Amino acid sequence: MAAKIKGPALFLAQFSGDAAPFNSLAEITSWASGLGYKGVQIPTSDKRFFDLDLAAESAAYCDEVQGTCADSGVQITELSTHLQGQLVAVNPAYDLAFDAFAPADCRGNPKKRQAWAVDQLMKAAVASERLGLTNTVSFTGSLAFPFLYPWPQRPEGLIEETFAELGRRWQPILDHYANHGQNIAFELHPGEDVFDGATWEMFLDACGQHEAARINYDPSHFLLQKLDYLAFIDLYHDRISAFHVKDAEFNPDGRQGVYSGYQPWVDRAGRFRSLGDGQVDFGAIFSKLSQYGYDSWAVLEWECCLKSPTQGAKEGAPFIEKHLIEMTDKAFDDFAGGTRDEGAIKKMLGL
């Protein structure tokens, strides 16, 4: 019997480079397939892999992309608009840093940069539909994250206005996605205004409980916040439409806690690791997602402060493969059961 969760799959963003096989879609998908991956999540911000502007105009180009992946033996799992989604909402404190994600002619002009990002997201909905997909993955952006810690005191209404504005910006985008039969699975990620269950609920309220607003579940970000990532699935499983399989570890000591003292990744108390090297209980996660009927892809997102990306990718495919669960159609104690006997039932109950 086949597993409900599909995989293993690989997010290509962290593997892109200027040298083969990491500089073209044909070569990187062949490389991924050779490692055992059955799917790839494609970043739409890297034209070496995917030309989003062309995909929004040309069904033939989308067919060509699908053909390239099929020739390599992989399927497209989702299109990623993480970088464009980030630019939908940017606090001025981050303007200079996030300008790097935008075209040169948008830099230094926040309104033009935002308009470009929204246009990119709209195009991604069209491209995803043409590829026969239903889910994309993205970020919400951030207006209030610089005010995460409540000191100095946040002025009354700041957070309320933040989420109201996020709703105003994302509602028309989500409407467009729904019109094209698409969802946006947001990665709940520190640095975004939506980074945990509480902020997700606020965002969903601001977007009118929009059906196209979904979750890209990534337990690594929850472990580093000391959030119960298994209980999160219990609460929000009906909105989880994508899954980043990424490991992390949190080792606080007398010098560092959750904020990790501005240290580089390798020296932080909380840091990302390759699959199996961290503290995330993936056996429990795959079990719980399977219990709730999650039937989309398990996608490795490699981010490790120690191992190379090639080693992480090589180890990741078999790691995911061994966690896929073939769902049973039998109860373990069926052998001891029998046919229904109304008389016996009443006798057992003294009726």
- For the chain, what is the mean pLDDT? 96
pLDDT per position as a tens digit, 253-311: 999 999 999 999 999 999 999 999 999 999 999 999 999 999 999 999 999 999 999 99
Band of residue 327 on the pLDDT scale cut at 50, 70, 90? confident
Instruction: State the pairing for strand pair 213-217/183-187.
Output: parallel
Q: What pLDDT, on a 0 to 100 scale, did the predictor assign at position 334?
A: 67
| Of the candidates 235, 220, 214, 233, the residue with the CA atom closest to the CA atom of residue 286 | 233
Residue 3 has pLDDT above 90, yes or no: no
Cut 0.75: pTM above it: yes
The secondary element (H helix, E strand) that includes residue 269 is none
- Amino acid of residue 172: P
Residue 126 has pLDDT above 60, yes or no: yes
For residue 204, give the 3-state DSSP assignment: helix
For residue 330, give the 3-state DSSP assignment: coil
pLDDT per position as a tens digit, 137-149: 999 999 999 999 9
Q: What pLDDT, on a 0 to 100 scale, did the predictor assign at position 336?
A: 64
Fold of 6-349: TIM Barrel (3.20.20)
Rounded Cα distance, 34 and 66, in Å:
18
Q: What pLDDT, on a 0 to 100 scale, did the predictor assign at position 2?
A: 61
What is the rounded average pLDDT of the residues 122-134? 98
Task: Tell me 142's DSSP state.
Answer: B
Q: What pLDDT, on a 0 to 100 scale, did the predictor assign at position 241?
A: 98
